[in-house]
Amino acid sequence: MSRSRRALLLLALALTTAGIATVAAARPAWADCAAAAPTRSPHWFTGVVVQTTNVDRTAFVRTDDGRDVIVLGSYVDGANAHTTVDRTYQVGVRYEFDPANDSSPYQDNRCTATHPIDAAATGAARRSDSDGGRTVFWVIGGLVVVVVLGGVAISRVRGRGGSTR
């Protein structure tokens, strides 16, 4: 293998590793929750989501005992900011909330045992709650494609006018 191809291969490997490390570092510590089954919170309650904001990650809830509370399904604010464990909510769906804290605004995410309890809405709410890891897959896949195409382009340019060592 020529020295330039070896250098190109090492560059591709370094860029891919850096991309994977960047994506992995962006994941919060909560991402480890996928291996453990969520447990019921001592602060659990049930209620209906009456309004959402922050791309469905903040829920305004009327609890079954008549209180109006806020449930935050993300630890970050803003439509363009999110984590891998954000939970989204659907207006009109009744949930059992299992938050991490004991007062409004309640903290919730996909690592808790919160779940819809309306039979008809259960499937739709579960589908909206996760991207199934597709974001990470597309980011890493995109990085690999860019590195490979860059390597092919450099190889062709060098092949036309470069040395033949």
Locate all alpha helices (DSSP H) within 1-133, ordered by sequence: 3-25, 119-128
Confidence of residue 48 (pLDDT cuts 50, 70, 90): very high
Confidence of residue 30 (pLDDT cuts 50, 70, 90): very low
Backbone phi, psi, residue 23, to 5°: -65, -45
> Chain-wide mean pLDDT for the chain?
75
Out of 13-22, 31-40, 69-78, 108-117, which region has the weakest mean confidence (pLDDT)? 13-22
What pLDDT does residue 154 have?
Answer: 77
**pTM for the model:** 0.54
Q: With 50 as the cut, is the pLDDT of residue 28 above it?
A: no
Confidence of residue 119 (pLDDT cuts 50, 70, 90): low
Confidence of residue 40 (pLDDT cuts 50, 70, 90): confident
Closest CA to 59 of 98, 100, 81, 87: 87
Q: With 70 as the cut, is the pLDDT of residue 34 above it?
A: no
Q: How far apart are CA 90 and CA 48, in angstroms?
A: 9
Q: With 70 as the cut, is the pLDDT of residue 23 above it?
A: no
Are the CB atoms for 87 and 129 separated by under 8 Å? Answer: yes
DSSP symbol at 129: T
